[in-house]
Structure 1
Amino acid sequence: MSAATETTTGYNPIQRVILPSADQADTVPLYVDAGTASGIRLRENDEFARTPKLLEDKLQMFSSQSREAHFEDLLGRHSMRVRSGEQVSFGSYFNAFPASYWRRWTSVRDVRLVVETSGPGTVTVYKSNARGSVQRVDGRHVDGEATSTFDLSLTPFGDGGWYWFDLAASTDDLILRNGEWETAAGPSTKGKVTVEITTMNKPDFCLNNARILAANPDVLENVKEILIVDQGTQKVEDQPGFAEVRDALGGKLRIINQANLGGSGGFARGMFEAVENGSDYALLLDDDIVVEPESIVRLLTFADRCRKPTIVGGHMFDLYNRSILHTFGEVVDPYRIVPALPHADMETRHDFSVSNLRQTPWLHRRVDVDYNGWWMCLIPTKVIREIGLSLPLFIKWDDAEYGLRAREAGFATVSMPGAAVWHVSWIDKDDLVGWQAYFHARNRLITTLIHSPYPKGGRVLRESFQSDVKHLVSMQYFTEHGRIDALRDLLNGPDDLHKVLGTKLPEINSLKAQYPDAQLKEDVDDFPAPKLGRGPMGGTVVGMPSKKELIPWGIKTVARQLIKAPGPESAERPQGYLAHRDNRWFRVAHYDSVVVSNAEGTGASWYQRDPKKLKSMLAEATLLHAKLLREWDKLADQYRRAVPEISSFDAWKKTFEANAKDDA
């Protein structure tokens, strides 16, 4: 399977060994770790594998005994020291080679690993299969200045598996000078990419990512343009240091100022400009991220070698807990139209500092996805020309809908391991409540109308109405106002989607003054203090009703809130405070008046029960859902027929022109 050679002439690098920058010490486990090659191996019939709690305990036990690589031994972006008598593994998220993805989506069938070292020790190559079983492939002793070359086949990686190598130092330190995965296969020319960042008042993030790119000029070799679509009032161009970063990027940075058209408006602009400037790809990046710059090279290199145009996305790590991977890939549950995991054995928020790649069997199975989040997503302009731009949805569901649309047109999406950004985690957000509720409700239903394979959208309408009831019994009347508006606008059809793109958010925000639950105060002391013992359940923790009890509980709760008027003192002072984690519909429903903190921890709102609002909103939500059910088939046909027009270049060009701002 492997053979030593003297030269790699005729081979092109497709993945380089990389190491974290000096200010990224908390990300070391994603690049390299110490210890044995195999780590923990769990059989399918192992008691630990079948019992999640025992598995967690076992992982913790082994992890606590493992050693981390020495941060001070990282000598540069591509070089590190292995101390005498120690061993390190590059079987890590960023440095293992995702062989099964290359096997599945490209024409590459053989790769070559080239490891340049100095000093005495060994280089050992390993591979895994889809079950996570580890096998030694080859190894050799090195001393002095040495180049170790291994020719490796991708044939056995049909369902999953990775390649990686370990280094062990013997009588003296062993220095890794460079490591590359190479292939003889490749296009005659490399594709050019427009890197586009959509931002709304996060200029510090944008400038930081531009600075990262400027500090890695080798990453920019095939970048045609770095485009920032600035939709905010705090302009990137006004930030200290902007001129220096712009100059360092050598004329590749361009700013487009436009009105706030949301994520879909910003990303559609990026797609539009990438086609207009002749790029082969548009790389969409969110604004509140920190990019691993090598990811750009990896996405582009992989996409260039895909057998047909393919959308290639990067993964998302938690910006504030950087060893935690948000998810390894996502699909859309076709019956419910909600994001879902492709495999039952996958986990979200996996922490590589607790269990590394080699210790985690499910990470070795290839994951095939429906879409990739637009925190980092590379889209070929051939795809954009054929299926159009994003739908004008402002935010939410634009990325998932586009992935589904592309799949129906024959274009796959790949969530590529080893390419990622660090992004503000969902754990610090609650975008089902507040102004975003309108877009969540409307856009999920639009996606269902266009793509659901089930009559009447499967379970979506039922869940939509259940959400209305939950928000109402939770006294979230501002949220429910937005959801009702979403149903009204949905029933009006697709013709106004472009027209309301720049006006709907200000319209929603103008309603906040009418609803106490929408008015945020920074300090709970800004609210009246509750009296001792005023809580509705006497301090008892309220759990969620069982499935059997849910309908009777719901009827009883809604009836009580409709019939029983809240006491006059409820308007004078709350019955208590609830932390955000306790803000659950089945718990809040017992209160008449309560102060609730938000997900970000930046403030709190006063929820106050109002039977009149409950009655009118519940009646309207019921009537609108009934109408939607009756008109479902007609609406589905309207939205499906409208997609080519509302996602077209001409439609978006008119929207951009109508929402242009003066560029500095």
Structure 2
Amino acid sequence: MAVVLQNVVFPTNQDPDVLPLYADPETWATVKCMPLRLSDSASIDNVLSRHSARVRPGKRVSYATYFNAFPASYWQRWTVVRDITLNISTSGTGTVIVYRSNSGGQQQRVESRTVKGDGVNNVFQLPLNSFGDGGWYWFDLIAGSSELVLERATWETTAKPVKTGKVSLGMCTFNKAEYCVETLANIAADPALREVVDKILLVDQGTAKVKDRPEFPQIAAELGDQLRVIHQGNLGGSGGYSRAMAETLQLADTDFLLLLDDDIEFETESAIRALQFGRFSSNPVIVGGHMFDLYDKPVLHAWAEHVKPGPFLWGPSFPEQHRHNFKESNLRQTPWMHARLDADYNGWWMSLIPKQVIADIGLSLPVFIKWDDSEYSLRAAEHGYRTVSLPGVALWHMSWLDKDDSQDWQAYFHTRNRIIAGLLHSTQPRGGKLMQNSSRQDIKKLLNMQYYAVQLSINAMRDVLAGPEKLHSTIKTVMPEARALMSEFGETRVWLPDDEDHPVSRGGRSLPIIQDPTWFEEESRPELQYPTGINLALFTAKTVAKQWLREDATDKIPELEYAKRDALWWHIPKHESVIIGSADGRGKMWYRHDRAKFRRMLREIQVLRRQIERNWDTLAKQYREALPHITSVEMWLETFEK
């Protein structure tokens, strides 16, 4: 019996911005090795339904797109599927051409057929035996003298799945009720997804409850006993998702748990694809979904993310992945997307975890937020369970462009949890360059008068040295304590336009950075060039010495005002008092040199860094021995009940 692995789908929300992710009717050229779109043919009017679309007379549309091409290399590498069937139903006259690509992105024609008539079904048998390094399948439609309608298309297999159980959805939220009810409504409206979902576990940790939204009663009635709302104190993402994991272990019909963030827009087809990939995987794997920008919808956050072993720092495996815009370069125009890329971890904005993995390795590390998702995948890999960031599986999530969580209360968790994850999983002696890199980040912040963020980092290192025993007992209090500390640091205040005592710089506002052409920056504004190598070392030494001797500027008028994006870290230290726009655009923040804080924090950073490096092996042993206990269901249940 044939099983649908992937439906060809289209957006039904009348949003033209997402069209490049579903269909590519454009004409492209290459100029200086860069793709150039020569047309603007995409129209939301050509979307007829969730599964059908039309091609205008004489036009050609390619479905070599993120959501509608088939990622053959991933299915060949990780699953038991060895051949697939492409079923295409059309009405009208035209041509269907099936293509494949190799790992370098070269397009290769597989088969072509002429179609004529209403409801004509064409079946293409396609092997999965030559995609070891990469490659996709897709098809194009070319209309004749009249329009050609794609009625439906599916990618199927007759292979037998390894697992057949259902998926439960685990959603964790804190005061994002509006987003949650929209996601629940999308799920309720998709009968195909409802059919494979066992339970929807909504862990509400906020004060603005999802159940209090006016839309909730009707949606809850539609979902019936599939929906289970769980209320608990704010334990962060690690506590919310751990609750969903613990509940999943008690569900007999569930084989997989799909973790979803709260501030998302959900492509429900992606959940079905992730489940099918999990069901057909040769061995249990964590199936991760990609993240698109909710406010710039054709833009992808990253494709496959890694933890670099030297500095033990997360990020895309290479820079070109970061914020790729499919409107500017679609699948056929982006060769690196055709190589199969392996990931170390996937963010928990969307991640499908087999129940077997949860039972084997435990729940999340009790760290509130940050590094819980990456640590979990690293831990899973040590137990033989890999993570696959699967193309074609994605959602839209709020962008981080208008945030800077490295400077707010989350700076504590960035530092503490990165070091803990390194103690647990780094294979480098004394964590490699982790502490050196972390110390450099703190010095950058210190030179930029970000004393609050540096103090949080200092507190984080102290807590790492205290050992793993208090992670559970402090999980509810550590975030409020970090936020309360803001009152001691003047740079955390956001000055709004209507504030009577709003600071004004004597030098006005700095010139904006012009991204293009680059010659403008290089020739006209050399101060914008990033210092590297020996220049970076000299700059840091000179600037640290200067700030060590510099008098306090707490009462000095700001010298200049910068937009947030223009406040380059190597430029701001030239000032004693400066205004910088807040990341969210609400107002301005006033940074002033404080010699006493600078001297104290610089000393403490170095002392704590040396302590952790000197005691690395002892600390690593403590945390690794404690890991099975602090991630156990029993330990987490005690925390849930407190």
Return the alpha-carbon distance in structure 2 between the equivalents of residues 359 and 387 of structure 1. Answer: 40
Return the alpha-carbon distance in structure 1 between the equivalents of residues 298 and 570 of structure 2. Answer: 34
Question: Residue 418 of structure 1 aligns with which residue?
Answer: 392
Question: Residue 522 of structure 2 aligns with which residue?
Answer: none
Question: What is the deviation of 1:21?
Answer: 1.3
Question: Residue 92 of structure 2 aligns with which residue?
Answer: 119
Instruction: Give the one of 122, 130, 136 matched to 2:109.
Output: 136
- AA at the equivalent of 2:33: L
Write the deviation string for residues 473-506 of structure 1: whole angstroms up to 9, x where unpaired: 1111111110000000000011111111100011
Alignment pair present for 1:106 and 2:79:
yes
Question: Residue 515 of structure 2 aligns with which residue?
Answer: none
Q: Report if the CA contact (8 A) 2:26-2:61 is conserved.
A: yes
Return the alpha-carbon distance in structure 2 between the equivalents of residues 542 and 94 of structure 1. Answer: 39
Alignment pair present for 1:549 and 2:535:
yes
Q: Report if the CA contact (8 A) 1:91-1:164 is conserved.
A: yes
CA distance 1:188–1:627, change in 2 (3 Å)? closer
Alignment pair present for 1:167 and 2:145:
no
The aligned length equals: 625
Question: Residue 446 of structure 1 aligns with which residue?
Answer: 420
Write the deviation string for residues 232-259 of structure 1: whole angstroms up to 9, x where unpaired: 1111111121111111223312211111
Question: Residue 264 of structure 2 aligns with which residue?
Answer: 289
Return the alpha-carbon distance in structure 2 between the equivalents of residues 524 and 364 of structure 1. Answer: 52
CA distance 1:653–1:141, change in 2 (3 Å)? same
Question: Residue 467 of structure 2 aligns with which residue?
Answer: 493
Return the alpha-carbon distance in structure 1 between the equivalents of residues 172 and 44 of structure 2. Answer: 34
- AA at the equivalent of 2:58: G
Question: What is the deviation of 1:454?
Answer: 0.7
- AA at the equivalent of 1:130: S
Write the deviation string for residues 580-605 of structure 1: whole angstroms up to 9, x where unpaired: 11223212211211222222212322
- AA at the equivalent of 1:422: W
Alignment pair present for 1:217 and 2:191:
yes
- AA at the equivalent of 1:624: L
Return the alpha-carbon distance in structure 2 between the equivalents of residues 321 and 386 of structure 1. Answer: 39
Q: Report if the CA contact (8 A) 2:507-2:561 is conserved.
A: no
SS of the residue 1:585 aligns to: coil
Q: Report if the CA contact (8 A) 1:456-1:629 is conserved.
A: yes
Question: Residue 519 of structure 2 aligns with which residue?
Answer: none
Question: What is the deviation of 1:341?
Answer: 3.2
Please, what is the CA RMSD of the aligned residues? 1.8
Alignment pair present for 1:322 and 2:297:
yes
SS of the residue 1:450 aligns to: helix
Return the alpha-carbon distance in structure 2 between the equivalents of residues 188 and 405 of structure 1. Answer: 23
SS of the residue 2:311 aligns to: coil
Normalised by the size of structure 2, how large is the TM-score? 0.94
Return the alpha-carbon distance in structure 1 between the equivalents of residues 626 and 290 of structure 2. Answer: 32
Question: What is the deviation of 1:335?
Answer: 1.1
Question: Residue 357 of structure 2 aligns with which residue?
Answer: 383
Deviates more, 1:482-491 or 1:602-611: 602-611
Unaligned residue ranges in structure 1 (runs of 5+): 1-9, 42-47, 49-53, 659-664
Alignment pair present for 1:269 and 2:243:
yes
Instruction: Give the one of 223, 226, 231 matched to 1:252.
Output: 226
Instruction: Give the one of 545, 550, 555 matched to 1:564.
Output: 550
SS of the residue 2:292 aligns to: strand
Normalised by the size of structure 1, how large is the TM-score? 0.91
Return the alpha-carbon distance in structure 1 between the equivalents of residues 391 and 539 of structure 2. Answer: 45
Return the alpha-carbon distance in structure 2 between the equivalents of residues 124 and 479 of structure 1. Answer: 56
Write the deviation string for residues 412-432 of structure 1: whole angstroms up to 9, x where unpaired: 111111110001122222111
Identity of aligned residues (%): 46
Unaligned residue ranges in structure 2 (runs of 5+): 511-524
Question: What is the deviation of 1:543?
Answer: 4.4
Q: Report if the CA contact (8 A) 1:190-1:222 is conserved.
A: no
- AA at the equivalent of 1:529: V
Instruction: Give the one of 394, 399, 414 matched to 2:373.
Output: 399
Return the alpha-carbon distance in structure 2 between the equivalents of residues 32 and 388 of structure 1. Answer: 41
Deviates more, 1:604-613 or 1:593-602: 593-602
Q: Report if the CA contact (8 A) 1:534-1:575 is conserved.
A: no
Write the deviation string for residues 451-483 of structure 1: whole angstroms up to 9, x where unpaired: 111101111111111122111111111111100
Instruction: Give the one of 139, 144, 151 matched to 2:125.
Output: 151
SS of the residue 1:589 aligns to: helix
- AA at the equivalent of 2:52: S
Question: Residue 361 of structure 1 aligns with which residue?
Answer: 335
Q: Report if the CA contact (8 A) 2:303-2:389 is conserved.
A: yes
Return the alpha-carbon distance in structure 1 between the equivalents of residues 82 and 29 of structure 2. Answer: 29
Return the alpha-carbon distance in structure 2 between the equivalents of residues 250 and 475 of structure 1. Answer: 53
CA distance 1:655–1:533, change in 2 (3 Å)? closer
Question: What is the deviation of 1:346?
Answer: 4.2
Question: Residue 636 of structure 2 aligns with which residue?
Answer: 652
Question: What is the deviation of 1:217?
Answer: 2.0
